[in-house]
């Protein structure tokens, strides 16, 4: 029996129902994972779930990574699959996973992420200089604390000594977010807002803002939002979810591998911050020109597959 009760919904009810599905999925996954964690980590460890204060404990790090993986599935990967089935029936079609991308586009996207690094670092450094008026000092302290905690957790996650640790980080930090976040934000949320606003550009920018806001790292809000915008246009221009997924994976994977190589003293630590200094204007200018050119080439390469009209549930 085909379940069609949720097909044909208007955009706003879709948005509200999507939020409900996301919350329920996340809570169910966390509940099941808490029960499953007892035999894995022991009841004593579960009674004192790790916090930022015990980041040096290997068992705590393992548990945090466990919940990070669970969160990726419960919050990002499973909800779009459920929503694609409910809203459309054909999940791969709804999420644009049934449309291939070509080798030339993958090559161009790889170049795009590499050449965009100085520009993203420059924007990120500018974003960190954000200051609030005195009457918002409490908000500023909260945002800085959240940023510091997130940075500390990321650093702990990235610091591994073995090849197996590197591969797991690529799975946890690069692959799962690339698939899950793109399916949710570009596959579901961008589609809903595009239909709601009757405009691809509004859909891309609103979903990118929400994408960045969900990370709760406000001093990196702007560069992350712009990456979300980039991923959104890659979907619209190519008609395929695989291109933004690949771009997202390359972006995250580069950070994972760079941190590993820096820790191994195999590359200069400056590779992670190229372009972050205002006096690197040549690198920043070249990065901007390269990004614009490569984006134009990607659009040209995929012009036959680009979305020609607003997406629907059909």
Q: What is the pLDDT of residues 174-229, one digit of tens each?
A: 999 999 999 999 999 999 999 999 999 999 999 999 999 988 778 889 999 999 99
In terms of C-beta density within 10 A (0-12 exposed, 13-18 middle, 19 or more buried), how is residue 297 classed?
middle
Angle at which helix 221-238 crosses helix 242-263, to 10 degrees, equals 140
Q: What is the mean pLDDT of residues 308-313?
A: 56
Write out the two tokens for 304.
């036959």
> Does the pLDDT of residue 155 top 90, yes or no?
no
> Does the pLDDT of residue 230 top 90, yes or no?
yes
Q: In whole angstroms, how far apart are CA 7 and each of 4, 10, 90, 141?
A: 5, 9, 11, 45
> Does the pLDDT of residue 52 top 50, yes or no?
no
- Looking at 41-45, 58-62, 206-210, 283-287, which range is the least confident one? 41-45
Phi, psi of 305 (to 5 degrees): -105, -5
Residue 313: helix, strand or coil by DSSP? coil
**Do the beta carbons of residue 108 and residue 298 sit within 8 Å?**
yes
Contacts of 293 (CB under 8 A, 6+ apart): none
Q: In whole angstroms, how far apart are CA 112 and each of 37, 52, 118, 289?
A: 40, 35, 11, 11
Q: What single string gives the DSSP state of each residue in 93-122?
A: HHTT-SS---HHHHHHHHHHHHHHHHHHHH
> Does the pLDDT of residue 50 top 60, yes or no?
no
> H/E/C letters for each residue in 292-307?
HHHHHHHHHHCCCCCC
**Do the beta carbons of residue 209 and residue 197 sit within 8 Å?**
no
Residue located via tokens 């990726």 = 72
Contacts of 273 (CB under 8 A, 6+ apart): 121
> Does the pLDDT of residue 311 top 70, yes or no?
no
Write out the two tokens for 117.
């690094």
Q: Where are the domains of the chain?
A: 11-301
**Do the beta carbons of residue 156 and residue 55 sit within 8 Å?**
yes
Q: What single string gives the DSSP state of each residue in 41-57?
A: H-HHHHHT---GGGTT-
- Looking at 101-110, 138-147, 187-196, 304-313, which range is the least confident one? 304-313
Write out the two tokens for 97.
């996973």
- Looking at 17-21, 42-46, 243-247, 250-254, which range is the least confident one? 42-46
The rounded mean pLDDT for the chain is 88
């Amino acid at each position: 029996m085909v379940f069609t009760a949720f097909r044909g919904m208007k955009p706003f009810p879709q948005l509200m129902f999507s939020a409900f599905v996301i919350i329920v999925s996340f809570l169910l996954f966390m509940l099941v994972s808490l029960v499953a964690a007892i035999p894995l980590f022991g009841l004593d460890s579960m009674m004192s779930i790790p916090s930022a204060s015990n980041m040096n404990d290997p068992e705590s790090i393992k548990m945090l990574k466990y919940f990070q993986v669970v969160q990726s599935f419960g919050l990002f990967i499973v909800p779009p699959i459920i929503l694609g089935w409910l809203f459309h029936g054909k999940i791969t079609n709804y999420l644009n996973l049934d449309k291939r991308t070509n080798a030339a586009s993958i090559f161009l996207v790889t170049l795009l992420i590499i050449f965009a690094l100085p520009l993203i670092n420059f924007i990120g450094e500018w974003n960190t200089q954000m200051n609030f008026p005195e009457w918002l000092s409490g908000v500023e302290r909260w945002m800085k604390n959240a940023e510091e905690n997130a940075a500390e957790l990321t650093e702990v996650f990235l610091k591994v000594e073995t090849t197996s640790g590197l591969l797991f980080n690529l799975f946890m930090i690069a692959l799962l977010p690339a698939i899950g976040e793109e399916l949710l934000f570009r596959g579901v949320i961008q589609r809903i807002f595009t239909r709601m606003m009757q405009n691809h550009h509004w859909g891309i920018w609103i979903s990118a803002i929400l994408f960045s806001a969900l990370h709760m790292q406000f001093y990196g809000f702007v560069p992350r939002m712009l990456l979300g915008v980039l991923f959104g246009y890659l979907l619209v221009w190519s008609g395929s979810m695989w291109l933004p997924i690949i771009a997202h994976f390359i972006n995250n994977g580069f950070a994972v591998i760079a941190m590993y190589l820096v820790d191994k003293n195999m590359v200069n630590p400056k590779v992670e911050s190229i372009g972050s200094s205002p006096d690197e204007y040549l690198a920043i200018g070249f990065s901007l020109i390269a990004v614009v050119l490569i984006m134009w080439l990607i659009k040209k390469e995929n012009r036959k597959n680009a979305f020609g009209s607003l997406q629907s549930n059909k």
